[in-house]
Structure 1
Amino acid sequence: MDLHSRTDPALRGRISAGAAAIIPVGSTEQHGPHLPVSTDSDIASAVAASVGRGPRFLVAPAVSTGVSFEHAPFFQISIRESTLGTLLGDICDSLHANGIRDIFLINGHYGNRGALSGFVSGRGEEGPRVHALSYWRFTRSRFDHGGFVETSLMLAVSDLVRMSRARKGLVTDGMEQASVERLKRAAAESFPAATGNGVWGDPRSATAEAGRRILAEIVRNLRRECLGRLDGTRPNEILI
């Protein structure tokens, strides 16, 4: 259930029945020449909306600015890890003050992992139970940046993809794992320098059909995880 468009009585009714909150956490950053800078937020929001269907969840507006400094000088709007943690803390405390006991942070940006991990692990026993989950942990597809997976997902959820502009980026298939790890470290410092065009992967064969399959897998597995945590059958571990 979308939180933003509901009335106070409707929300309080759901909260009194034990509804949990879902907050999509994304970014505003380049995703190559063919995807919008809203990509991470768009995918996280689409995943959250599908996971959050039904009476047990309230889906909050997305946090659409994240830790994306590594994408400069390509376009990005960034905040520090500490700022993201403070922002999420205020939002979670506000939701808890309204009676919400469980909050799921659905992360869509790789660069947010440190901030989310530190935020969740640093919280005390008081307050809501906060769960940090990156959506790509719930698919067998290999995570990329502007490559086949992200582009397919965006084709499934958005009309902002420009496939005529899609170009092959950094492809690590066949590389030794040590080389891939070195490239990951380099990308964490400067994604443009590591990839050349801001794309990790090859988006040229992406399709909306593939995106719908991947999205369905993510939603199925992630919803099962969230419901299991609410029912006490899954541990509250950080999966980012």
Structure 2
Amino acid sequence: MTDIKAQFDPNLRKLIKKKNQIAIIPVGSIEQHGPHLPISTDSDIVTVIAKKISKMKGYLLLPTITFGVSFEHVPFFNLSIKESTLRTILNDLCLSLLENNIKTIFIINGHYGNLKAIKKIDVKLKKISKNKLKVYPLSYWHFMEREFDHAGFVETSLMLAISKNVKMRFAKKGLITDRMTKQEIKNMGKLANQSFPKATKNGIWGDPTQATKKDGQVILAEIVKNLGKKCQTCLTEHSS
């Protein structure tokens, strides 16, 4: 793994000149995650995942974009940027990487609210760059078997595995969907996208009370393994 922010210009340019480099841009958010997880949760998790993928594959790791689209959490605390702003930041970074002769980029997303901003960004950048750029936007929760949540069992377990900044004594059950129909869950999801507090008053989707560090380690390993395979598949399919 090569962490770009820790590099010096001459060495980095030599690395890029030596072989075709692949870059990873992690994208997270700053928003409420209940009373037991820090507001940096999404950014913390996606940073660790991106680091592990970069180390496993030998990719260049860019600094995490820590701000995301989280307006739906109002009046809970969030520091948000517009979808258009996030899209512009990613566009500019990818084009800047191209200027430095880095033509393959994985955008690893750690926040659900960022989905619209990264949707079809690969197609748009391919057109803008006249087919020179290969960009792959991937959201990490698509690479685990468990149902994704918000400050619930999954995110809390992952945070226990990577951080000491978790206050389990404050963990409480949030919105539980086990007995809901698929349509009810879908409707609740739509409501949460508009106003998360209307879907779950305490800001939690799921049950974090049974989360453990061990579970988090297992989930993290699963994500990294599957996401790593997906990265390789993307490169193989594109080259064929």
State the TM-score, normalizing by the size of structure 1: 0.94
Once residues 77 and 55 of structure 1 are traced to their aligned partners in structure 2, the CA distance between those partners, rounded to angstroms, is 32
Once residues 77 and 156 of structure 1 are traced to their aligned partners in structure 2, the CA distance between those partners, rounded to angstroms, is 25
CA deviation vs aligned residue, 1:181-214 (integer Å, no higher than 9, x gap):
1100100010011111000000001011100100
Q: Which residue in the other structure is 1:22 paired with?
A: 24
Q: Quick check: 1:112 aligned with 2:117?
A: no
1:118 CA displacement: 4.1
1:12 CA displacement: 2.1
Map 1:66-215 to 2 at 5 A. 66-123=68-125, 124=127, 125-215=130-220
What code does the residue aligned with 2:5 have? H
CA deviation vs aligned residue, 1:157-187 (integer Å, no higher than 9, x gap):
1111111111100010021111111100100
What code does the residue aligned with 1:91 have? L
C-alpha contact 2:52 2:224 (8 A) present in aligned 1: yes
1:8 CA displacement: 1.8
Query: What SS does structure 1 have at the residue aligned with 2:26?
Result: strand
Q: Quick check: 1:218 aligned with 2:223?
A: yes
Q: Which residue in the other structure is 1:233 paired with?
A: 237
1:20 CA displacement: 0.4
1:127 CA displacement: 4.0
Q: Quick check: 1:3 aligned with 2:11?
A: no
State the TM-score, normalizing by the size of structure 2: 0.94
Q: Quick check: 1:59 aligned with 2:61?
A: yes
C-alpha contact 1:103 1:129 (8 A) present in aligned 2: yes
Residues 98 and 187 of structure 1: is their aligned pair in 2 closer, same or farther, counting only changes over 3 Å? same
Unaligned runs of 5+ in 2: none
Once residues 9 and 225 of structure 1 are traced to their aligned partners in structure 2, the CA distance between those partners, rounded to angstroms, is 32
What code does the residue aligned with 1:68 have? S
Once residues 147 and 6 of structure 2 are traced to their aligned partners in structure 1, the CA distance between those partners, rounded to angstroms, is 35
Query: What SS does structure 1 have at the residue aligned with 2:14?
Result: helix
What code does the residue aligned with 1:115 have? A
Q: Which residue in the other structure is 1:238 paired with?
A: none
Query: What SS does structure 2 have at the residue aligned with 1:67?
Result: coil
Once residues 152 and 57 of structure 2 are traced to their aligned partners in structure 1, the CA distance between those partners, rounded to angstroms, is 35
C-alpha contact 1:225 1:234 (8 A) present in aligned 2: no
Once residues 11 and 212 of structure 2 are traced to their aligned partners in structure 1, the CA distance between those partners, rounded to angstroms, is 38
Deviates more, 1:10-19 or 1:128-137: 10-19
1:228 CA displacement: 2.5
C-alpha contact 1:41 1:62 (8 A) present in aligned 2: yes
Once residues 19 and 55 of structure 1 are traced to their aligned partners in structure 2, the CA distance between those partners, rounded to angstroms, is 11
Moved over 6 A (4+): none
How many percent of aligned residue pairs carry the same amino acid? 50
Unaligned runs of 5+ in 1: 236-240
What code does the residue aligned with 2:158 have? L
C-alpha contact 2:57 2:228 (8 A) present in aligned 1: no
1:109 CA displacement: 0.2
